């Protein structure tokens, strides 16, 4: 007698889904390798179904293998590759699906896969430079916070205990440091709970679109960082739009898709508005001049030259290369940019503690 298949309880299903999301995640690199291998196989003369069959068996990521297998099954039934890929928007974003669809419509699938592969590589390089540059300040600030907590919780209480019976009036810096140490000792757990609650509230508020947009607006006006954020978004804008237009996707649709890859909501919403205005027949360069705060004159003027010469894709490529190089150079030198801030913060912290501890000692020495 066959055993009945055990059904999972609601709790077990939730646990499975939770760990499935964590450990079954498909990284961008894995998606990039899938497209690259698919393009190589199609170029070598394999049919799309044969290529998908091989990839569904050889890809390392189990979740991606299953998805590729489903794509192969649907393509075998006669459906277009882009149409099937569109069913997995979390794995294959609209930008890549649209580029493949345009290639299929023009009978140039191999060429469109090559363009998608190149676009993914450029996007990955840009993101990698940004993330790599953020590691240094993140590690340094984490170390500073860790040292500060260790000093206040473990080291300073032992040092400052000698000043408790100090008869002379203590300097303000020492009084302030003693007050901080005592407050931490008395209300440390409550303070930690308060910080955690505050972080949770901030994250919850940040998910509200209006608040997130306001934060993004402020970020664009920050000294140093505002310029970096602008260049990153301009690099993504020019890189994505040039690739989409090169794939013969209409400019209205291309601009709308480009909006979806912007990390800053101000750029995202502005490009959605631009895509709507393009429907009236106005030139892109003319429309972008109304958004001079986020699209500098160099961008609008080069796009205008491209429109007049009928080579807008070429101009956008040059802009993409320029801003990508700018972001790359800034990110490479980010440690040098952030170093003075770190030195000042560390200097102030060390100097404040030194003054608070040493000044009473001088007063004590003078009394003897």
Instruction: Set out the domains of the chain in order of their start, with CATH numbers.
Output: 16-115 (1.20.81.30), 225-332 (1.20.81.30)
Other beta carbons within 10 angstroms of residue 135's beta carbon come to 11
Question: How many CA within 13 A on the CB side of residue 86?
Answer: 11
- At 365 the pLDDT is 63
Closest by Cα among 275, 179, 72, 169 to 288: 275
The pair phi, psi for residue 93, each rounded to 5°, is -60, 160
Question: How many CA within 13 A on the CB side of residue 106?
Answer: 16
How far is the CA of 93 from the CAs of 86, 96, 318, in angstroms? 8, 6, 24
- At 363 the pLDDT is 65
The two three-digit tokens of residue 332, written as one number: 């490479």
Planar angle of CA 36, 101, 273, nearest 5 degrees: 110
Contact 255, 283 (CB under 8 A): no
- At 19 the pLDDT is 44
Per-residue pLDDT tens over the stretch 235-294: 999 988 988 888 888 999 999 999 988 989 999 999 999 999 999 989 999 999 999 899
- At 360 the pLDDT is 74
Closest by Cα among 106, 71, 72, 110 to 91: 71
- At 23 the pLDDT is 45
- The model carries a pTM of 0.75
Planar angle of CA 177, 188, 173, nearest 5 degrees: 5
Per-residue pLDDT tens over the stretch 71-123: 999 999 999 999 999 999 888 888 888 889 888 888 888 888 888 888 888 88
CA dihedral 253, 249, 255, 121 (to 10 degrees): 130
């Amino acid at each position: 007698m066959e055993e009945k298949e055990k059904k999972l309880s609601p709790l077990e299903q939730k646990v499975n889904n939770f760990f499935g999301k964590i450990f079954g995640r498909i990284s961008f690199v894995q998606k990039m390798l899938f497209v690259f291998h698919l393009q190589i196989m199609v170029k070598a003369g394999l049919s799309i179904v044969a290529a998908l069959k091989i990839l569904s068996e050889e890809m390392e990521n189990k979740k991606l293998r299953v998805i590729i297998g489903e794509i192969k099954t649907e393509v075998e039934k006669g459906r277009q590759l882009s149409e099937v890929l569109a069913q997995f928007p979390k794995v294959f974003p609209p930008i890549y699906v649209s580029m493949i669809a345009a290639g299929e419509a023009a009978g140039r699938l191999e060429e469109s896969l090559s363009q998608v592969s190149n676009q993914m590589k450029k996007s990955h390089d840009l993101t990698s430079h940004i993330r790599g540059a953020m590691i240094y300040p993140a590690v340094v600030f984490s170390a500073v916070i860790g040292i500060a907590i260790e000093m206040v919780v473990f080291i300073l209480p032992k040092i400052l205990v000698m000043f408790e019976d100090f008869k002379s009036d203590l300097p303000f810096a020492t009084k302030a440091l003693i007050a901080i140490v005592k407050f931490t000792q008395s209300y440390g757990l409550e303070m930690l709970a308060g910080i955690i609650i505050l972080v949770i509230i901030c994250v919850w508020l940040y998910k509200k679109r209006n608040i997130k947009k306001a934060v993004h607006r402020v970020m664009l006006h920050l000294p140093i960082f505002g310029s970096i954020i602008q260049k990153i978004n301009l690099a993504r804008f020019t890189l994505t739009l040039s690739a989409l237009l090169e794939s013969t996707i209409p400019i209205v649709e291309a601009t709308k898709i480009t909006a979806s890859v912007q990390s800053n909501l101000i750029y995202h919403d502005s490009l959605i508005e631009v895509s709507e205005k393009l429907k009236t027949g106005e030139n892109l360069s003319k429309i972008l001049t109304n958004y001079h705060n986020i699209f500098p004159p160099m961008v609008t003027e080069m796009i205008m030259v491209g429109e007049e010469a009928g080579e807008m894709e070429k101009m956008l490529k040059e802009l993409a290369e320029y801003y990508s190089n700018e972001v790359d150079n800034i990110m490479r030198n980010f440690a040098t940019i952030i170093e003075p801030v770190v030195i000042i913060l560390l200097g102030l912290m060390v100097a404040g503690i030194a003054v608070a501890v040493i000044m009473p000692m001088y007063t004590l020495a003078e009394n003897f």
